[in-house]
Every structure is written in structure tokens, then in C-alpha cells.
Amino acid sequence: MNNALVIGGTRFIGRHLVEDLLDNDYDVTIFNRGNHDNPFSDDPRVQHIQGDRKDDEALRTAKLTVEPDAVFDCVAYHPGDVVSAVDTFTDVDAYVYISSGAAYGTEEIPKREGVAQLCDCSDEQAQSDSDESYGPRKAEGDRVVFEAASRGINAMSIRPCIVYGPDDYTERLDYWIDRVLNYDRVLVPGDGTNLWHRAYVEDVASAMRIIAEEGEAGEAYNVGDQRLVTLREMVELVADVAGTDVEVVTAGERELAAADLSPTDFILYREYPHVLSTGKLAALGWESTPVEEAMRRSVESHRESERDGAEWDPGREAEERVLSILDTL
Ligand SMILES: NC(=O)c1ccc[n+]([C@@H]2O[C@H](COP(=O)([O-])OP(=O)(O)OC[C@H]3O[C@@H](n4cnc5c(N)ncnc54)[C@H](OP(=O)(O)O)[C@@H]3O)[C@@H](O)[C@H]2O)c1
């Protein structure tokens, strides 16, 4: 297997996937609309086909042009997208659909493939673009993959938790890095032990390749850091790799409410722990980057970028109010 077609490929996960595939001697073609800058435009190893994945004819043309062994689908946000893809790439050695940890519909620790239930998806949700229907749509895409595999198509799925690292346009981790780099005291909601599993982007990329090479049709594989850190530990780790000192100050619901804040105003906070089991993926020979190294590369990339996570900022003034209330206690 050495000829890969990446649907997407120019922003974050797909971009790192292309780099991983090149490092592993694949011929790579990316398929996208050309709306975002192509970081590989000067790299003769990466071919580009312009097209919209919503256009079945364009997908078919890409298939006939590239004749890929492996197809990596970074842009399937609706179950219908997965239906089109499995119907187009019927005879490839591997079709890997990026699902999500959000596809799980129950809260249990950890969430295991084939054990934790997936979200249901109504017809209305399947067509929707709302945030609330994201998990249901991803779960329905997984069911399309399973059904396709039962018809002999080599389709598999990967379920990443929150992905972080260089080029992360969601800027979720950037909010926290920005706080650490600019303030001595960082306010963390809850008691600091809050746990929302995260996956380093280069590990998601290598997982996608390994699943294509070693995975089984009809199977889904979770991906996330093998060692998890709590929200407090994450902030301390950022400070550590950035070579700075911060005081982490935790604030519960009542203290935050005094400044009209709530824990969920803080990005990467989730009340109930979200933890994905990664044993099934590790059994294929995958390993995650040590969290210290993953964070070091994330902070380095943050410093070189203009990302500041400002859109997630709950308001420093309100935070200062909470900090001064806590000082008086
Ligand atoms: N970030 C996370 O925490 C996380 C967690 C779990 C799952 N996921 C999943 O990861 C995937 C997103 O990955 P990414 O954005 O980082 O991937 P990416 O492949 O690096 O970037 C998205 C690409 O899709 C292209 N694209 C968008 N709409 C398209 C269309 N209609 N037809 C063809 N190309 C299209 C974009 O380019 P053009 O705009 O130029 O077409 C861009 O190249 C999604 O499936 C998401 O659900 C993400």
C-alpha cells in the first residue's frame, strides 16, 4: 500500500496526515476545494485535485485519476458523505473515515469501541449542521462504515478525542497557552482534576496510517494521548515546557458565579470525565508521543503563530474579580 488519497489535507489533522504519509514513502494526492491555502503547493511529492466532496462525480474522477490504495476522509461531516465515499471507493485496500469521540452516546469511563453505545441519529439530525447533532452524525457515519464492511468494502473508522498541536485552527489549547505566557496567575475552573481526553495531532495522523495498514474492515479505533493529564496538570505542563512559572488558582461554581462566570465558560472544561480507551489502537502497533514532547511542540508552534485563543476568552476582568474574591477568603 503506497498510494494515498486524502480528502481534505490542508488545515490541521489532514495536513499532519500528509506529512506522516510522506515520511512513510507514500505517494500522496490531496482532494479539496482549494478554499484554504495549500501548505504543500511547492512540494512536488503532493498532487492536488480540486473538487468538492459533496459532488459524487468529482469524487469518482479523483478515484479514476489517482487509483488510490488508501483513502483518508477528513471531511465527512454528514452520514451521506460517508455513503458517497464507500460507494465510490469500493475496491480500495483501506478507506479510513474520521469519526469522533463525540460519537459515543453514553458517559462511561473509559469509552471502549464496541462496548460504549453510540449516539442515535434521526433523519433530521443526519441533515443538520448544528453542533448538537455533530456526535449523532459522526455515529451514523460509523454505522455506514460497518454496513459497508459487511458488503466487503475495506472501510474503517477512527475516533479522535479533542485534537491539539501545531496548526490547530480551533485554538482551544492556544487559549490556555496564551494565559500561561501572559499572566502569573491562571484561573482553572473546578478543582483542577477535570479530565477531557486529548489527542496530539501527529499521533492522530500516524494512527490513521496504521489503521489503513493494519486495521480490520468494519472496526472503529479510538485515538487519544496514552497518558492523560488533568486540566491543572495541563496548565502546569504548558508552564513547564514554556520555561515559566504560574500559580494555578482553582475556582468552584460558587466563586465563579460571583463574577457571572461558570465552569463551562472555560474551554477544555467538561464536567464529567471524557476518556477513550486506546488499547485497541495500541494493539496495532501505535504509540502516542510523550505528553511533555507533544506539549513542547504545541507551545513552540503557538509562539510562532498568531493564534491566541481569544475567541474562548471568558474575560480577564471577570477572572481578576474571582481571583481577588479568593484572596479575601
Ligand atoms: N479537531 C478535533 O478536535 C477533532 C476531533 C475529532 C474529530 N475531528 C474530525 O477531523 C476532521 C477535520 O479535520 P481537519 O479540518 O483538521 O482536516 P484537514 O483535512 O486538515 O482540513 C480540512 C480540509 O477539508 C477541505 N474541505 C472542506 N470542505 C470540503 C469539501 N466540501 N470538499 C472537499 N474538501 C473540503 C478543506 O479545504 P478547502 O476548504 O480548500 O476545500 C481542508 O483541506 C473532521 O472530520 C472532524 O470531525 C476533529
Q: Report residue 328's pLDDT band, with 50, 70 and 90 as the boundaries.
A: confident
Q: pLDDT at position 318, please?
A: 94
Residue 1 pLDDT greater than 90, yes or no:
no
Structural domains in the chain, CATH included, are: 3-164+197-223 (3.40.50.720), 172-196+227-274+290-328 (3.90.25.10)
Query: In testing the pocket of ligand 1, which one of 5, 6, 13 has its CB within 8 Å of the most ligand atoms?
Result: 13
Q: pLDDT at position 108, please?
A: 97
Q: pLDDT at position 240, please?
A: 98
pLDDT (tens digit, 9 = 90+) per residue, 196-230? Answer: 999 999 999 999 999 999 999 999 999 999 999 99
Residue 68 pLDDT greater than 90, yes or no:
yes
Closest residue by Cα to atom 1, ligand 1, is 163
Q: Report residue 127's pLDDT band, with 50, 70 and 90 as the boundaries.
A: very high
Q: Where are the beta strands (DSSP E) in the chain?
A: 3-7, 27-32, 46-50, 70-73, 94-98, 155-160, 162-164, 185-189, 198-200, 220-223, 247-251
- Pocket lining: 14 vs ligand 1, CB cutoff 6 Å: yes
Q: pLDDT at position 77, please?
A: 98
Q: Which DSSP string do the residues of 107-134 spell out, in sequence order?
A: --SSB-TTTSPBPP--HHHHH---STTH
> Around Cβ 260, how many Cβ atoms within 10 Å?
12
**C-alpha–C-alpha distance, residues 78 and 60, integer Å:** 18
- Pocket lining: 125 vs ligand 1, CB cutoff 6 Å: no
Cell representation of residue 104: 459515543
Q: pLDDT at position 295, please?
A: 98
Q: pLDDT at position 190, please?
A: 96
**C-alpha–C-alpha distance, residues 76 and 140, integer Å:** 11
Residue 104 pLDDT greater than 90, yes or no:
yes
Residue 78 pLDDT greater than 90, yes or no:
yes
Overall average pLDDT of the 256-263 stretch = 96
- Pocket lining: 163 vs ligand 1, CB cutoff 6 Å: yes
Ligand 1 centroid–CA 190 distance in Å is: 32
- Pocket lining: 263 vs ligand 1, CB cutoff 6 Å: no
DSSP assignment letter at 162 = E
- Pocket lining: 84 vs ligand 1, CB cutoff 6 Å: no
Ligand 1 centroid–CA 13 distance in Å is: 7
Ligand 1 centroid–CA 233 distance in Å is: 29
Q: pLDDT at position 329, please?
A: 80
pLDDT (tens digit, 9 = 90+) per residue, 140-176? Answer: 999 999 999 999 999 999 999 999 999 999 999 999 9
Q: pLDDT at position 51, please?
A: 98
Count of alpha carbons within 13 Å of 59, Cβ hemisphere only? 22
Q: Share the mean pLDDT of the chain.
A: 97
Residue 9 pLDDT greater than 90, yes or no:
yes
Ligand 1 centroid–CA 217 distance in Å is: 23
Of 205, 210, 142, give the one whose Cα is nearest residue 168.
Answer: 205
C-alpha Rg value of the chain to the nearest Å: 21
Of 30, 7, 3, give the one whose Cα is nearest residue 93.
Answer: 3
Residue 131 pLDDT greater than 90, yes or no:
yes
- Pocket lining: 45 vs ligand 1, CB cutoff 6 Å: no
Of 155, 11, 145, 169, give the one whose Cα is nearest residue 70.
Answer: 155
